[in-house]
Structure 1
Amino acid sequence: MRALQCERFGTVQDVQLVNRDEPAAPGPHEVVMAVAYASVSHATGLMIAGRYQTKPPLPFTPGTEAVGHIVSVGTAVTRFKPGDAVVAIADWGCFAEQVKLPEYTVYAVPDGLPLLDALPVPISYGTAYCGLLWRCALQPGETVLVLGAGAGVGLAAVELAAQMGAHVIACASTQEKRNEALARGAHGAVAPDANLAAEVKALTGGRGADIIVDPVGGELFGYAVRAAAHNARLLSIGFASGVLPTIPPNLLLVKNLTLHGFFYGRYIGWTPSDERAVHAPALQRVMETILGWARDKRIRPTVSKTYPITELSNALGALHSRQVVGKVALTIKPETTP
């Protein structure tokens, strides 16, 4: 089978297309999946560079999220059979025509939902859903300010918060992205600049946001904290800007703000203790809900562009340009039904 392989940590130019054997037979709680499409994310480049939280042993195949069909299942697997359409989270390995995975982070794609529409759900939408509900206990009627609202986790948070009954304000870098967020359920949209707090307060009658979702970090976080309502919750889920935010502790104090760090990786096996089996029942319920909303078109997970397996560099370039709405993906092998 064809696969992208990283022989050493470095740049995307160090990733080569190779031919290698298909995965061995799955263990009792494993499945083998034929990959149709695989997501490309900011974490992809970090993992190739050896700078991500998880550092795979060399050589390795990148790719942490994929959609396709089951090829074979282990003896203890009861949720799937060969031929089932599934979407999955992996430690790595998805930029290959087949990948072997623990069953715990593999999810059924509902009938009527196209494979490519299911692809962004497990990581981007799973992160946003669990952060909003599990960490911030979002309530209907609250105001949610979403930073980085034009792509990935940010756009997912806009859709999900609106679906849950929140009043959503989207913060995105271009008018095109702000318009897209408004089309996905945001009630207002603002630019990521020094006027952010004033604009948010103007949209909320001077009150500010009850929850601030931050996948960006950097200087923008400082602007956003000033847009927080009293007793607001701040949800830090990533640093797409590449810069860690500086938190003004005086504002945390005088406004009674709560800062929540949220590492979704804990629930999907991306920690040394590997807790994915423990959290699998709860996450499977989450995925059933979100994938059902996608099937029913209550949310619209979007892959804005796909690239051939040979064009990982172009896919990462598009992502880093910040012109992407939604996600980008590699086409691995679309005809995957065994």
Structure 2
Amino acid sequence: MAVVARGRCFPRAWLRRRAWQGCGREYRVAICTELKQPLAIEEVSPRSVRPHEVRVDVHFCGVNFADILICHGQYQEKPPLPFTPGMEFSGIVLETGADVSTVKQGDSVIGWSVLNCLAEECVIDEKTLWKIPEGVTLREAAALPITYGTAILALEHRACTQPGETVLVTAAAGATGLAVIDVATNVLQAKVIAAAGSEQKCRLAMQRGAHSSVNYSQGSLKEAVRKLVGNGGVNVVIDTVGGDVFLEALRSLAWEGRIVVVGFAGGTIASVPANLLLLRNISAMGMSWGQYRHKNFPLFSSILSSALQYCQQGRIRPHIGAEFKLEEVNDAFLHVIQRESTGKVLLSLK
């Protein structure tokens, strides 16, 4: 027998509910039981919190391309099956362990983890929770950890973007692209050229604060940028696409320009022509957001605190492009895979 969710038909086994061992009330989670297959929705029993852990009633989860990669076995971390994907959430603290001192029951928080966030409850180390300040909604906060963490880290820490500089961002209408536009324009006072693959996405990027836009499906990105800024080029590029788009963006950099690679949404990893780095004193660098959790946790934590502060001050405004229910998680994944999404995609669990 099959069930229908948002117009799509799934075998009932893909949306089954199964009680795990345990006692007390149960809650729903999204489970990956087989790679490259739709997720199941199951009911599980809660486990006890350890002294340093916090139990959170999850209200919103972010849906990221990395979640899909993990469920396809294509991410750098490959957890054993079965597992619950999900890297970020917002919610309300339900319970704290004996040694927890940073949050208390009833606090609104955001959290980050490689796994286990696509669930109605999440048990997580207190170090990877941040209190949501007054005036920031749970919905807004859920859009901050990965996309705005990436944008702030890439622009401020890696590229050292200065006021008045010109920033070119590729895949500008995606969640990270719009976050880069928001931070560069409204926090760092830079000018942004938004590069995207359709006129509709270019218009959205302009509405969200970009100074100008380029549709790179219509011709050379380098030539389009040259028409906008002249032969001098742009100061900073934040690239999430890779491939030919990366190479065109690299050739658009000014003297002592900086390009930060944060992803390969186009599916192709380009080789860097070192002669371009030499001739223009260009810096090409990578930025893997999640690794800072292990390599430089104080910076990782401060970046998320900055995102929350910027949001509270009204300097940034996350754009939520689509919202799904937990039982629609497979539709949410498909929405991202088919490049239908603009801005952040969330799961609403309430």
TM normalised by structure 1 equals 0.91
Look up the equivalent residue of 1:37 and give its one-letter code: F
Task: Indicate if the aligned counterparts of 2:164 and 2:190 stay in contact, CA closer than 8 A.
Answer: yes
Task: Indicate if the aligned counterparts of 2:178 and 2:319 stay in contact, CA closer than 8 A.
Answer: no
Within the candidate set 16, 19, 31, 2:40 is matched to 16
CA RMSD across the alignment: 1.6
Q: Distance in 2 between matches of 1:144 and 1:21?
A: 48
Q: Distance in 1 between matches of 2:154 and 2:105?
A: 33
For structure 1, the residue ranges without an aligned partner over 5 or more in a row are 269-273
SS at match of 1:310: helix
| Most deviating of 223-232 and 245-254 | 245-254
Post-superposition shift, 1:285?
Answer: 2.9
Matched, 1:188 2:207: no
Task: Indicate if the aligned counterparts of 2:292 and 2:299 stay in contact, CA closer than 8 A.
Answer: no
Matched, 1:168 2:192: yes
Q: Deviations over 1:30-66 (max 9, x none)?
A: 2111111111111111101111111112211011111
Q: Partner residue of 2:233?
A: 208
Matched, 1:289 2:318: no
Q: Distance in 2 between matches of 1:28 and 1:132?
A: 37
Matched, 1:247 2:298: no
Post-superposition shift, 1:297?
Answer: 2.7
Within the candidate set 33, 42, 46, 1:7 is matched to 33
Q: Distance in 1 between matches of 2:44 and 2:80?
A: 17
Q: Deviations over 1:129-183 (max 9, x none)?
A: 0111111111111111001110111111111111201111111112222122222
For structure 2, the residue ranges without an aligned partner over 5 or more in a row are 1-26
| Most deviating of 313-322 and 146-155 | 313-322
Q: Partner residue of 1:106?
A: 129
Q: Deviations over 1:248-292 (max 9, x none)?
A: 222222222111111111122xxxxx45xx51x433332232222
Task: Indicate if the aligned counterparts of 1:23 and 1:32 stay in contact, CA closer than 8 A.
Answer: no
Query: Highest relative contact order (Cα 8 Å, sep 6+), 1 or 2?
Result: 1
Post-superposition shift, 1:78?
Answer: 1.6
Aligned positions of 1:34-73 closer than 5 A: 34-73=57-96
- Identical aligned residues as a percent: 35
Q: Distance in 2 between matches of 1:143 and 1:23?
A: 50
Aligned positions of 1:121-200 closer than 5 A: 121-162=144-185, 163-193=187-217, 194-200=219-225
Q: Deviations over 1:206-262 (max 9, x none)?
A: 311111101111221111112111211110011111211232222222222111111
Question: Higher Cα Rg: structure 1 or 2?
Answer: 2
Post-superposition shift, 1:104?
Answer: 1.7
Aligned positions of 1:315-330 closer than 5 A: 315-330=332-347
Look up the equivalent residue of 1:321 and give its one-letter code: Q
Q: Distance in 2 between matches of 1:75 and 1:204?
A: 58
Q: Distance in 2 between matches of 1:43 and 1:286?
A: 20
Number of aligned residue pairs: give it: 322
TM normalised by structure 2 equals 0.88
Matched, 1:313 2:330: yes
Look up the equivalent residue of 2:181 and give its one-letter code: V
